[in-house]
Amino acid sequence: MRMLAPELLNRAATAPKEGSGMAFTFAAFAYLIALIAVAFCIFFAIYTVICIDELKTDYKNPIEQCRNLNQLILPEYAIQMTYTFLFILSWQMFAILMNLPLTFYHIATYMRRPVISGPGIYDPTTILNRNELSAALRASWAKLAFYLLSFFYYLYA
């Protein structure tokens, strides 16, 4: 019993002090939110690739597909811009520089969108043009690749 008391005192003396050690910073919070948000964006991108491929093979009606795709545009853009803004607030330069091109692409794409009745970038009257369809498919694959790379970067950052 007497042997335990000095060991306990030594442990208490070498225990980490209050406030020392690893802290949960705002940057860690930003990366955690970005990791969860990018997981949603990956699902959006996969769904977009599938829908555009179905349009390419004439499996689905373009009006329904464009309506379904256009419902995902604003949430995807809002999610991506929200975690980019969190990176700006936490001053994570590499993450900011990595996300700004996609943010500018989203803004430019939405500003050049066709005149349709609701929010979105896919017009059912022109989506079946070969050039439009291939451009939309390329953009969807590129965004999926970006989101996958981002996911693993945020996971290990």
- Return the percent helix, strand and coil in the chain, to nearest 5: 75, 0, 25
Within-domain flag for 19? no
- Quote the CA–CA distance of 144 and 85 in Å, as a whole number: 21
- Tens of pLDDT, residues 144-156: 999 999 999 999 9
Within-domain flag for 11? no
- Tens of pLDDT, residues 50-60: 999 999 888 78
- Quote the CA–CA distance of 128 and 136 in Å, as a whole number: 10
Percent of the chain with pLDDT over 70: 85
- Quote the CA–CA distance of 114 and 124 in Å, as a whole number: 10
- Quote the CA–CA distance of 132 and 113 in Å, as a whole number: 12
**pTM score above 0.85:** no
- Tens of pLDDT, residues 8-57: 445 555 555 555 556 789 999 999 999 999 999 999 999 999 999 999 88
For 78, 98, 111, 127, the CA distances from 83, given in Å and listed in that order, are: 9, 12, 21, 30
Within-domain flag for 2? no
Distant-in-sequence, close-in-space partners of 88: CB < 8 Å, separation ≥ 6:
96
Q: How many domains does the chain have?
A: 1
Within-domain flag for 128? yes
Domain extent for 127: 26-156
Within-domain flag for 20? no
Within-domain flag for 87? yes
